[in-house]
Amino acid sequence: AGAKGAFRTRNEGSLPMKITVLGAGAWGFALANLLAKKCDEVLLWTKEERLLKAVEEKGHHPLYPDITPAENIQWTQDLHAAVYNRDLIVESVTSKGIRPVFSGIDKSDIRCPIVITSKGIDQERLITLPELLVEVLGESHRDKIGILSGPSFAKEVIVDKPTSVVASSYNKEAMQLIAKTFNGPNFRVYPNSDILGVAFGGATKNVIAVACGISDGMQLGNSARAALMTRGLHEMTRLAITCGAKRETLSGLSGMGDLILTCSSLLSRNYSFGKLLSTGSTSDEAKDQIGMVVEGAFAAAAGTALAKKMGIEMPINEAIHQIIDQNLPPQMAVQQLMQRAVKEEHL
């Protein structure tokens, strides 16, 4: 990286870049393999000793027994080595992991763009993940921070299923570099300068996916799911534009696109989490059965708190928060939503 706002660009085709992916879960590993196909070196960082041993012993990631990792992927537990002298850093440590992981990094080591790929709202500060990273690293690093979001399942990306997402950043050159680096034959990346809207779309759709999982688990029907998705998108958009995002961003891939994907597939851990809640599982029991982080469980509480702070109503989001964190029976939540006073529909 050069001076502020100036980042190295590469020739078309193979990219002689050194990239780090922080986090070797399902999504981090899928992105590492995606990037390894077109970049010289990919360093995959994890703090999980058991994961490293499993990969070393079996030759594959435990979540992907049929996938052989690309040869140019290297593994490390050394966080300093992972971020020093890189061309791009890709975050995939979950929304709750961003603060502790990046707080443990020497800020002077970070001289390249950082791509956030987790989706959520910080519960402590009620801010989007890009703003959280600015807070952790300092204002001088703002122009390095970007985000990648949109309708994408790790299990599909890793086997080259056609996927389209959005890249954004506070800095136009960083945004273009991120889009160019990730873009490939089966992974299409659209630049979008509204980083706030892109971040909100990815975070808030997870809550609606939990709601749809509950609805389908209760066998409430296709009409109920359609209503939840439509009114849910309205809630997502209302919160985003109240906080300063552009309305049209929520109608794109990072909003409506991601919402459609996650609200009807068992590949979505948020949707699956909702189905488990509908059968009487507690929130903790459902999380244990999923076995991976359920971002919607955290976003529901944060979204409800932020909506109250901004003085707007988000009844679906609040209902999911009450089910997850206050043990409200799903049947009662449905009754409360259906008995709300009817108002003229405004989109």
Q: Is residue 4 annotated as part of the catalytic site, yes or no?
A: no
Phi (first) and psi of residue 63, to 5 degrees: -80, -15
Q: Hey, is 153 helix, strand or coil? A: coil
Q: What is the residue type of 297? A: A
Q: Is 64 helix (H, G, I), strand (E, B) or coil?
A: coil
Catalytic one among 205, 246, 275, 309?
A: 205
Q: Where are the alpha helices (DSSP H) in 159-282?
A: 172-182, 195-217, 222-242, 258-262, 269-278
Please give the structure tokens belonging to residue 83: 């971020």
Is 262 within 8 Å of 270 (Cβ atoms)? Answer: yes
Angle at 233 between CA 159 and CA 157, to 5 degrees: 5
**Count of alpha carbons within 13 angstroms of residue 102, beta-carbon side:** 28
How far apart are the C-alpha atoms of 231 and 179, rounded to whole Å?
A: 31
Q: How far is CA 103 from the centre of its chain?
A: 20
**C-alpha to C-alpha distances, 227 to 130, 223, 313, nearest whole angstrom:** 30, 6, 17
Residues with catalytic roles: 205
